[in-house]
Chains A and B, each alone.
Chain A
Amino acid sequence: MPPAAAIDVDRLRVVRGGKEVLPGISLEVEAGSITGLLGPSGAGKTTLIRAIVGVQIVAGGEVRVLGEPAGSPSLRDRVGYVTQKPSVYADLTVKENLEFFARVLDAPRERVDELIATVKLSGQVGQVGQSLSGGQFSRVSLATALLAEPELLVLDEPTTGLDPVLRDELWTTFRGLADRGVTLLVSSHVMDEASHCDSLLLLRDGELLASETPDGLLRRTGAADLDTAFLRLIESGESAREGQRPA
Chain B
Amino acid sequence: MSARGTFAVGVRVMLQLRRDPRTLALMVVVPCVLLALVKGAFDGQPGTFDRVGGPLVGIFPLILMFLITSITMLRERTTGTLERLMTMPLSKLDLLAGYGLAFAVVAAVQGTIVGAFAFLVLDLDTAGSPVLVIVLAVANALLGMSLGLFTSAFARTEFQAVQFMPAFILPQFLICGLLVPRHDMVGLLEAISSVAPMTYAYDALSRVTSEGSLGGEGLADLGVTLGATLLALVLGATTLRRRTA
Contact = CB atoms under 8 A, between A and B. Distances in A.
Interface residues of B, number: 26
Interface string A112-146: 00000000000000001000000000000000100
A54 interface: yes
A89 B244 contact: no
Nearest to A144: B84
Interface string A222-240: 0000000000000000000
Contacts of A100: 8, 11-12, 15
A97 B15 CA distance: 10
Interface in A48-65: 53-57
B16 A91 contact: yes
B84 A87 contact: yes
Nearest to A53: B87
Contacts of B243: 54-57, 71
A165 interface: no
A90 interface: yes
A28 to B, nearest CB: 21
Contacts of A73: 89
A104 B5 contact: yes
A103 B20 CA distance: 23
Nearest to A51: B243
B217 to A, nearest CB: 43
* Majority secondary structure of chain A interface residues (helix, strand, loop or mixed): loop
B19 interface: yes
Contacts of B89: 73, 76-77, 104-106
A73 B16 CA distance: 28
Contacts of A187: none
A174 B117 CA distance: 58
B16 A89 contact: yes
B242 interface: yes
Contact of B15 (A54, A76, A92, A105): A92
Nearest to B89: A76
B119 interface: no
B50 interface: no
Interface in B65-102: 79-81, 83-90
B5 A83 contact: no
A77 B83 contact: no
B88 A57 contact: no
Contacts of B16: 89, 91-92
Contacts of B11: 100, 103
Nearest to A105: B88
Contacts of B245: 16-17, 56-57
Nearest to B7: A103
Given A57-B245, A87-B80, A92 B12 contact: yes
Interface of B: 4-5, 7-9, 11-12, 15-16, 19-20, 79-81, 83-90, 242-245
Given A17-B245, A79-B87, A105-B89, 13 more contacts: A53-B87, A55-B244, A56-B243, A56-B245, A77-B88, A83-B84, A87-B80, A89-B79, A96-B12, A100-B12, A104-B5, A104-B9, A144-B84
The 8 lowest CB-CB distance pairs between A and B, nearest first, are A87-B80, A103-B8, A76-B89, A100-B12, A87-B84, A91-B19, A87-B81, A57-B243
